[in-house]
Structure 1
């Protein structure tokens, strides 16, 4: 389970990020002050990723990033500063990504996954709803027995699992699984969800959100 440092002084935003990280299976550690976060890294720096605001009390995000980088922790900047100079500074210094507020939580989670994949900290095997899902091997097992899924069925399952307990629209699922260049109808999503429910016994777990989309409901 990946451990993620979150340094954000706006409490509502940091709480929202932490809740969504927890729902997605990550362990967030939150600070609202840059200096406090930097001091803590002298004792505990066992993180797979850092999410850093730029405008922070105590120590700004760019200075904090120097400490984070010295500990070998990859970072994504989250900031309201959308000027080109700030983006260039963050990326030039070695940040993995730069996301401007306001942002969609779903976009943030996808970008986090991509960074963890690149840095080798991504959790390749997920156990959920009685299933063992191996993201590298693209296999799904229940009670040790493999269940065959087509490529798009597996990709759809991965998106639902990585965004468990979140409602995702049909349009967003279509884009995330089939790509922005796909010109099919959202009915494609409905068909594949039906196949996942039947093959994996997830009839009670994949909830239909009326006139919107789907949510994989997982009880803690």
Structure 2
């Protein structure tokens, strides 16, 4: 299980990130200021650090001095949105930079992307009887290849990387179809229904009333 450190002084944001990443299958620890963060970094090994910049005690920029020797990837999460702030963060060694407010689905996608870049994310996963090879764009069930379209595999990847999280239909459409949602949910609904049937996931790929869909997987 991937270990992630969340260094964020705003409790509501810290708790939300912790909850969503835990639901997605990550092992999280949290720190409310830079000093606690530095102590945790010195005492533990993490696969990824999510780091606010404006922290009490030791700033996120200063905390990078503790992180660089560990070669742990970092995503800055901050309200500082100027280009100069982004450039400074990246030059200090951050792997990505996410500006508040942000969507949790976007954060999860960036976490997965950074972990994959460092070859820490699993390229093959088995969920609810289905083996998914993300590098080969292939899904198997009972040793047999499932014939999925590109959009169906895109849906599968989106649900798997956001398991136990309710996804809105408009977000699903924009992420998988890579275009603006036009208000007609029939395309999403039809593809999800076909995917459910092919995977045999009628029991776990559930409809969320007036929202969209959620892949329910035991923690």
User: TM-score, normalization: structure 1?
Assistant: 0.90
Matches within 5 A, 1:1-220: 1-44=1-44, 46-180=45-179, 185-220=184-219
Cα separation, 2, equivalents of 1:184 and 1:83: 33
Gaps of at least 5 residues in structure 1 are none
Q: Are the equivalent residues in 2 in contact too, given 1:139–1:147 (CA < 8 A)?
A: yes
- The alpha carbon displacement at 1:199 in A equals 0.9
Cα separation, 2, equivalents of 1:103 and 1:13: 10
Aligned-partner SS, 1:127:
strand
RMSD: 2.0
- The alpha carbon displacement at 1:135 in A equals 1.3
- The alpha carbon displacement at 1:185 in A equals 5.0
Q: Are the equivalent residues in 2 in contact too, given 1:62–1:90 (CA < 8 A)?
A: yes
Cα separation, 2, equivalents of 1:33 and 1:25: 24
Cα separation, 2, equivalents of 1:148 and 1:213: 24
Cα separation, 2, equivalents of 1:63 and 1:102: 23
Paired residue total: 219
User: TM-score, normalization: structure 2?
Assistant: 0.91
Cα separation, 2, equivalents of 1:112 and 1:160: 15
- The alpha carbon displacement at 1:162 in A equals 0.9
Cα separation, 1, equivalents of 2:180 and 2:74: 30
Q: Which moved more, 1:101-110 or 1:203-212?
A: 203-212
Question: Which digits, 9 at most, give the CA deviation of each residue in 1:145-203, with x for residues without a partner?
Answer: 33222222111011011111211122111111121379795322111111111111111
